[in-house]
Each structure stands twice: as C-alpha cells, then as structure tokens.
Amino acid sequence: MAQKKDNRKGLLGLLTILGLGGLGLALSRKKPSGYGASISLQILDAVTGEPVPKNSPALVVEGGSYIARFTVTNLSTRLGAGVEAYLTIELVGAAGLGPIAFPAPFTALFLAGQAVSWDITFLVPDGTGGTPGAIAITVYAPTGASLASVSEVLTIQSAAITYAATITPIHVL
C-alpha cells in the first residue's frame, strides 16, 4: 500500500511540474509587439469647409484651395500593450505632371492608442484642369518602415472663365 501512495505522489508531482512548465511556456510566448498605425483622409473645400464631391475620384478645380483633413492613430504595441511612438507623416500630391505643394515630412509623438488630426491647406495648381491628380499620406515608424498609407485620386476640372469687359471713355483735350 505504501508503494501505491508513493506512485500517486510521484505522479502528482510530475503533473504539477508539467503544469507549471506549461504555464511558464504560455507566459514566455511572445506577445505581439511592434509599430503600427492607421490613417484616414478627407478632402474639404477650403472656402465652404464641406467635403468635395467624391464620385471616385474626388472632384476639385484648378486654382482652388482645399484642405486635407486626416487622422493618424498610433497602434504600436510592446508585449501586447499599447506604447507611445514617434511616427513620421509624409504628404505628397500631384496634379497633371507637376506636384501639389505640401509641408515637408514631420515627426510627432503619439501616446499609446492616441489619434491626432490635422488640417493641411493645399492649392491645386492653375493650368492643371482636365488632368488627373492624387494625394497620398504615409505614416512611417522610427525604423523607416511604412506603417499605413491612404490616397485619394483627383479629377481636376478647368476653372470657368468669366468673360467681362469694362470700357472706359478716353478724354481728349
């Protein structure tokens, strides 16, 4: 009978060690870590503040002023928990064969899970009516890896010409 009791204790000890080993293995497995971000973009008319007509692609007018409204959310984690991160944001644009001017890429500190929004005003260059265009925003990790990007294709309409003339009489002495 003593032999049977010792076998049970041995078996119980082995199961306890295996159970703790399994727990240790589960705890030691890497939790997801790394940089991450998401981004959304909306194009607004700078005069009215209303979204531009978006019938895929967005409709803008040459010489017009617009706002790129975008929100970047930090999704970076370390061991499964959100962490702060310095993320770099780059805006680029093209209208016809030329660029749309945007500020230089910039870096911002984001707290864990933080979403930050920006309104960046831009002009569609005059003389680009009838050509395609696009705007793209990319978020980069401190390592230089691209984390998220969004783009919007543009249809650029020609600006309407307003025909008018003023006749000023000439006074002859």
Predicted pLDDT at 23:
40
Predicted pLDDT at 98:
95
Nearest Cα neighbor of 130 from 156, 161, 154 is 156
Predicted pLDDT at 54:
76
Predicted pLDDT at 111:
97
Predicted pLDDT at 60:
94
Predicted pLDDT at 171:
78
Predicted pLDDT at 18:
39
Nearest Cα neighbor of 135 from 166, 90, 84, 83 is 90
C-alpha angle 85-87-91 in degrees, rounded to nearest 5: 165
Q: Which residues in the chain come in under a pLDDT of 50?
A: 4, 7-30
